[in-house]
Amino acid sequence: MKNNRQSILNLSVVVFLLLMMGCQKKLNESIESKEKINVLWLVAEDLGPYIPPFGDSTIKTPHLSRLAAEGVRYNNVFSVSGVCSPSRAALATGMYPSSIGAHHMRTLYQQPAAKKMGIINYEVVLPAEVKMVSEILRENGYYTTNNAKEDYQFFPSQMAWDESSNYAHWQNRPIGKPFYSMFSFMVTHESSLWNPVGKIHDLEVFPPAREMKSWWKQFENKFLPLVDEDLPVVIPPYLPNTDKVVNDVRRMYSNISRMDDHVGNILTQLEEDDLLENTIIVWFTDHGGPLPRQKRLLYDAGLQVPMIVRYPNKFRSGEIDNRLISFVDFAPTLLSMTEIKPPEYMQGLAFEGKFKVADERKFIHAAADRFDETYDMIRAVRDKRFKYLKNFQPQKPYYLPLAYREKMASMQELLRLNLIDSLNEEQALWFRKTKPNEELFDTHADPHELNNLAEDPQFSGILSELRRECETWMHDVSDMGHIPEQELINTFWPDKIQPLTANPVLNVENGELQITCQTEGASIGYKRLQDLKEGLGWQIYTAPIGVDQEEPILVIAHRIGFAPSDTLQWN
């Protein structure tokens, strides 16, 4: 009997190994075939790991749960900031926001209180060699679409996307072209908590491209009721358990439920287009949760994001990956997944794909600086267990007034209870009049980061290690946090005047149009009449273009942070 059981066990192992080899073979065949792999990014706003695949069973998310069952769950993924614009700058470039001057929230559209302080709307000027990852994909034959949020601290290059609008979709691409498409879900955004019956943010259901314009009209001025008005919810210990706070938390989960429906809609489109098994699907969120003491802060509640990746043919399905991953790793990994070598300037590490790095990341890093009208400077370093915070302005209180956030009912409730001294010890921590120079948290024993261990001799070794890592990282990336913002603006825009990309120079030799631009780092684009008729974006100029004397060609140049050049026409 024992021998029979052993034989059955051995046979089971053999069958399992053969199945795994088959899955790997299918994935390799998909990636290595002449048909390039597609990549789809699905990005939710303002959301921590509050879904069943990551251990929170408050609501059901059937589509994300399916995605997790067929894919890989990444448990240790962290944004570089607790807010969207700096985070998206990292996603788009593979660089830390504080290394390129994109660390203040935000630069393009100042809140009224920030304008009163004299902060102008400005664009970050990227180093000359830096391009958005979507433009690099376009240069390598991909059709790239964004639907529809941008907000990178700079306006994208004219050549960054084939389409970037509410109507952008992979279905609009020329037949046979591989695609990289990004869809953002605004329904989970912080503002949905204080505007629960306002207009739907942007597009949320994303119908097929051919139906979008007619579909959008029916949703104008539609209101969003709670999915479940009696939903039992758990309130984190740093928030008071009052009706207003409970209602905001219920609203958060209600919005997650809607977001899950939208994910399902897109997955259905992908399957109907017979693209599911030739597409890598990446679902994640742009930073942590929307609630007070989550968004904008460098605690895990503001930085940690859930991420699910579904590979073709369900490769690695059901796996849990516990490696540390930072948002700066996303751009190089996207390129690596599409077999494009990441450029040397990218500060992130490819964690999957052809150019995956051999060594695991030991630390993640993050920064907090100006948020709308309030200045602070905090840097964070985290390993798999401990979080270190360096407060560069300890004389300031931790909570800084922010008009935008104070529209939230739970934030108003916190302020009311603090004013009458009715918060408990954990809830009152955020309202301390000053901050310690350093903070250290054991995120395993203290997941809400309420007990500062920086003064505990037992943890002096880990404190010293993370302190050194923070100093090393800031030096290595040339952190710009100490540069006054007005000085930084003048670095980008001398005398606060936006520089202009030089007009391209056109020259025809041997029947080919040659185009150059004197502005270092500028990308050049062109359009033929046929491109205009087909609604295509600017084509990226990489080599001389064969010309027809009767067909005009439009030409433009653009360096990110500069104003685009004039649009020229060659006849």
Interval 531-570: pLDDT, tens = 888 878 899 999 999 987 778 999 999 999 999 999 999 9
Structural domains of the chain, ranges and CATH numbers in brackets: 2-368 (3.40.720.10), 380-496 (no CATH), 505-570 (2.60.40.10)
| Residue 380 to residue 374: CA distance in whole angstroms | 19
CA distances from 247 to 242, 251, 295 (A): 9, 6, 18
**pLDDT of amino acid 529:** 84
| Residue 261 to residue 455: CA distance in whole angstroms | 47
| Residue 196 to residue 428: CA distance in whole angstroms | 27
**pLDDT of amino acid 536:** 82
**pLDDT of amino acid 12:** 46
**pLDDT of amino acid 19:** 43
DSSP state for residue 170 in the 8-state scheme = G
**pLDDT of amino acid 202:** 41
Give the residues of the chain that fall short of pLDDT 50. Answer: 1-33, 197-205, 215-221, 223
CA distances from 114 to 89, 145, 256, 372 (A): 21, 32, 31, 6
**pLDDT of amino acid 35:** 83
The 10s digit of each residue's pLDDT in 310-368 is 999 999 999 999 999 999 999 999 999 999 999 999 999 999 999 999 999 999 999 99
Out of 23, 84, 470, 517, which one is annotated catalytic?
A: 84
**pLDDT of amino acid 210:** 57
**Strand 143-147 with 163-164, pairing:** parallel
**pLDDT of amino acid 197:** 44
Going through 327-372 in order, the beta strands assigned E by DSSP cover 364-368
- The total of other beta-carbon atoms located within 10 Å of residue 403's CB is 13
How far from chain centre, in Å, is Cα 405? 21
DSSP state for residue 535 in the 8-state scheme = T
Model-level pTM greater than 0.85? Answer: yes
Q: Is 470 a catalytic residue?
A: no
Alpha helices in 351-497 (DSSP H): 409-419, 425-428, 460-476, 485-492
